Structure 1
Amino acid sequence: MAETVSIARADEPLDLSLSAAELEAHTAHISEFIVERLDAAGVDDAIIALSGGIDSTTTAYLAVEALGADSVYGLVMPSEVNRDRNMSDAERVAETLGIAYDVVEIEPVVDAVLDAFPGVTTDSEIETDPLKTAVGNVRVRVRAVVNYLAANQRDALVLGTGNRSEAQVGYYTKYGDGAVDCHPIANLYKGQVRQLAKHLGVEDDLAEKTASAEMWSGQTDEEELGMDYPTLDSVLALHIDGPLSKSATAREIGVPESVIDEVRDLHAASEHKRNMPPGPAPLY
């Protein structure tokens, strides 16, 4: 029998939804940002890794809005742990938008990396951390390598798909899905990404899909985080990004203070991901 994972859920999550005017403003603002980043780099094209999830789908729609379909290229990079539906959804997004894309199977590359390192295997029965996480991170970093191979070949910029919620708690792989040239949806909480997706015309089954980084079989974001996204978004907006104290935030949304502590700990522990690698100060 599968283990039941406890997920914290706020009794009264904060309503972070955007008005129609705000959604239009965000669409224009992000589109302008994408154009500015490409102009600054002196390139005409953008690369996006398409996973079939809401973040990459929304970013792809915004990129086409900003640049046109001819200037956006998608990479679908399945591994042995990816759900078939997600990969078909990724291709559906590319075909709906009319962008060129390729499918690159990454598992042979992952196997080559692990075969070269003693004591590590891709055996799907591995259930122990940190090995499970380490192998999952290899998959994510291999995708980053392929992204930049395509970007260098095409003289293009790699668009990231990270949102505000996941950035604030470090829920991404350093030098993996965090290894990009810019993050167009970095100013949006997860729930707002879903809302903007629907505004842009993304179909409901994609906009409402359960989020999963798919670093290993059966993984979901909310189970790994230990809380649902409305709760995480609420804590971030009220406490990490906002002015409320721990106790006030817990009372406002109806969760134990331990949930606020968990988010604070994740935020503090992932600070290194949000900064350049440190070096010693100049002596002179």
Structure 2
Amino acid sequence: MKPHLKEYAYPAILEFIKEQTKGKKCVVIGLSGGIDSAVVSKLCCDALGPERVFNIIMPSSVSSKKDVDDAQNLCTEFGMNYKVIQLDTLINAFSAILDLHDPLLKGNIMARVRMTILYHHAHQMDGVVMGTGNKSELLTGYFTKHGDGGVDLLPIGDLYKTEVRELAEKIQIPQTIITKSPSAGLRAGQTDEEDLGVKYDELDQILLGLEQLMSVDEIQKETGLEISIINSVFDKYQSSTHKRKMPLIPKLGIRTIGCDWRE
């Protein structure tokens, strides 16, 4: 039981990007050198043309030089525009003012600073901020609220991480990006799978079971994974519900935003 990329996914995403960016001059993407942002950048390039894709590479002192090089090489290979903005001065200023020492809190600040930079450029350029979150991250809350979760569109938001890898191969993302260990780049030596406590191949099997309304016991029987791992993923899903919803509003009117107001 594993998710697999649907044949219609690639053309459907391209159509989505074209339709949702009508009237805008460009898309703005935070390009990390990782697979998710590389795939989103290339999808936008294929949908809109490289001249309408503006990538911003935002490294800090904890960033890998290889990630920065991979991001720049991707832009060069496909003819996309990019800009490099070093974050250390901004992060150090926040850290001093807030007396930050916790690496996790510092990482959240970094993600929110990146979001601020992306929206500043999108406003200046009459653009749309393209998010790079995938379905695995969204369902486990593995993103910073009002940070990398603060975007206009999520073109790969309905693809599990394992499906993103398949799509990356399909659209010819360089192997140096596809094969590296996924990392948010918020702490030195950090990897996504260590943070999540489960490998993406296993995580996506569990989340697919959740999507199909299977119980913990049914998922365990189908996948052969340990109950403790499945329960841990369920806990992450349940505790991150607030990240996938608008802020709660007390219902007072006939139709209430975030409750029964349909757009």
**TM-score (ref. length: structure 2):** 0.93
Letter of the 2:227 counterpart: E
How far off its partner does 1:283 sit?
6.4
Does residue 225 (structure 1) correspond to residue 225 (structure 2)? The answer is no
Does residue 269 (structure 1) correspond to residue 239 (structure 2)? The answer is yes
How far off its partner does 1:113 sit?
1.3
Letter of the 1:55 counterpart: D
Task: Specify the alignment match of 2:121 in structure 1.
Answer: 150
Aligned residues of 1:170 and 1:267 also touching (Cα < 8 A): yes
Could you list the per-position Cα deviations for residues 23-42 of structure 1 after superposition, in whole angstroms to 9, with x for gaps in the alignment? 4x211100111111112xx3
Give the gaps of 5 or more residues in structure 2. 255-263
Task: Specify the alignment match of 1:249 in structure 2.
Answer: 219
Task: Specify the alignment match of 1:126 in structure 2.
Answer: none
Aligned with residue 80 of structure 1, among 54, 61, 68:
61
Could you list the per-position Cα deviations for residues 20-63 of structure 1 after superposition, in whole angstroms to 9, with x for gaps in the alignment? xx34x211100111111112xx3121001100000000001100
Task: Specify the alignment match of 1:160 in structure 2.
Answer: 131
Aligned length: 254
Aligned residues of 2:70 and 2:176 also touching (Cα < 8 A): no
Task: Specify the alignment match of 1:10 in structure 2.
Answer: none
Task: Specify the alignment match of 2:259 in structure 1.
Answer: none
**Structure 1 segment 102-251 matched on structure 2, within 5 A:** 102-117=83-98, 119-121=99-101, 131-238=102-209, 240-251=210-221
Q: Return the alpha-carbon distance in structure 1 between the equivalents of residues 10 and 225 of structure 2.
A: 33
Letter of the 2:49 counterpart: G
How far off its partner does 1:243 sit?
3.1
How far off its partner does 1:67 sit?
0.3
The structure with higher relative contact order (CA 8 Å, sep 6+) is: 1
Letter of the 2:239 counterpart: A
Q: Return the alpha-carbon distance in structure 2 between the equivalents of residues 222 and 283 of structure 1.
A: 44
Report sequence identity in percent.
Answer: 37
**TM-score (ref. length: structure 1):** 0.87
Aligned with residue 56 of structure 1, among 37, 41, 45:
37
Moved over 3 A (4+): none
Aligned residues of 1:164 and 1:188 also touching (Cα < 8 A): yes
